[in-house]
Amino acid sequence: MTDVYLYQTIHLLDGFCRNLAEHLALLDGWARSLFGFSVPLDEEQARRMLREEARRNAPVGCDRSLFVRLAVDDSGEVDCSFHGISLYRGYAHRSITPDAVTLRYALPFGEGPTSAREAAAALARQQAQAAGAQVAVRCDEADRALTADDAPLFALRGHTLVTAPAPQSVERQTALDAARRAGFEVVEEPLPRRMLPMFDELFYVDWRGVTSLAHCDGEPFMTLLSERIAEAMEARYPM
C-alpha cells in the first residue's frame, strides 16, 4: 500500500459484513473521483477478504462484533487490516462517555475517507487530549460543528434530532434511518458551535455504534434518548 489511500471500516458479526454494498459504493465513488478508477474488487471478493482477516485475528469462539478496515490506494492495491473486537454484539450505545472540545480545522481535499483525513483526525485527537479531553469536535471556518472523533455528529433536543448537512456516509445514513424508525423528528441544518449547549444530548455514530458525549467545551450533556437510536440501528439485524 502507498501512503495515499481511501478506507472504510466494516462491522462484522457472526461472519456477516454489515452494509458492505454501501461501503463499497462509497469507496468506489471516491476512487473514481480522486484516483480515476473503480475499486478493483466486487462484493463477494470483498466479503471473502474481510472474513478471512477477521478469522485470522479473532480468538477462537469469539462471539463479539469485529471491525476490519478495507482500503484501496492510488495504485489500485486493496488491503484489509483488523481493527479490533467489540465489547458488544452488534451496534451498541457504548458505555464510554468521553469529554470533547471543539476545534476549528479544515480537511485537505474535501470530505472523502482519505489518508489525509485520517491524519488530520489523528492530529485533532492529540490536540483534544492536550486540552484534557478525549474527542475533538470539528468545526468549519464558519464555526459550525460537523463531526466528533471524525464521525458524524448528532444533537438531540427532546425528540428532535439535528445533524449538519454532510456528504454521504454509511454510518450517518444508518443513524438517520434508525432515528426516523424510532420516532424522532430529523432535521438537517447547520449546528453553530455557540448553539451546542442548548441541546440535551450530543453523540456521534461510527462502525461501533453510538457514543454519547459527557461534556463538550465543559458543558454537560445527558445520555438518555440516544440509546433508542442505537437500539433501532441494531434492530435491522435480527439475531
| Residue 68 and residue 103 share a domain | no
Last residue of one domain, picked from the residues 85, 113, 140: 85
Spatial distance between the Cα atoms of 170 and 65, rounded to a whole number of angstroms: 17
In the block, which residue shows the cell 462509497?
26
| Residue 102 and residue 63 share a domain | no
3-state class (DSSP) for residue 51: helix
Q: Does position 25 have pLDDT exceeding 90, yes or no?
A: yes
Q: How sure is the predictor about 110, in pLDDT bands with cuts at 50, 70 and 90?
A: confident
| Residue 108 and residue 33 share a domain | no
Could you give the C-alpha distances from 102 to 85, 107, 165, 184, in angstroms and in order?
29, 15, 18, 26
Q: How sure is the predictor about 17, in pLDDT bands with cuts at 50, 70 and 90?
A: very high
| Residue 161 and residue 44 share a domain | no
Tell me whether residue 36 is in a domain.
Answer: yes
Tell me whether residue 160 is in a domain.
Answer: yes
In the block, which residue shows the cell 465513488?
29
Tell me whether residue 239 is in a domain.
Answer: no
Spatial distance between the Cα atoms of 175 and 209, rounded to a whole number of angstroms: 9
Last residue of one domain, picked from the residues 69, 85, 101: 85
| Residue 77 and residue 99 share a domain | no
Spatial distance between the Cα atoms of 24 and 32, rounded to a whole number of angstroms: 12
Spatial distance between the Cα atoms of 170 and 27, rounded to a whole number of angstroms: 11
State pTM to two decimals.
0.95
Q: Residue 37's domain is classified under what CATH number?
A: 3.30.470.10
Tell me whether residue 195 is in a domain.
Answer: yes
Q: How sure is the predictor about 239, in pLDDT bands with cuts at 50, 70 and 90?
A: low
Q: How sure is the predictor about 24, in pLDDT bands with cuts at 50, 70 and 90?
A: very high
pLDDT above 90 coverage of the chain, percent: 95
**What digits encode the pLDDT tens for the residues 53-68?**
999 999 999 999 999 9
- What is the domain extent for residue 53? 5-85
| Residue 107 and residue 79 share a domain | no
Tell me whether residue 146 is in a domain.
Answer: yes
Last residue of one domain, picked from the residues 26, 54, 85: 85
On average, the pLDDT of the chain sits at 96
Report the C-alpha dihedral over residues 143, 212, 231, 181, rounded to 10 degrees: -20
Across the range 109-123, mean pLDDT stands at 94
The residue with greater pLDDT, 129 or 109, is 129
**What digits encode the pLDDT tens for the residues 155-196?**
999 999 999 988 889 999 999 999 999 999 999 999 999 999
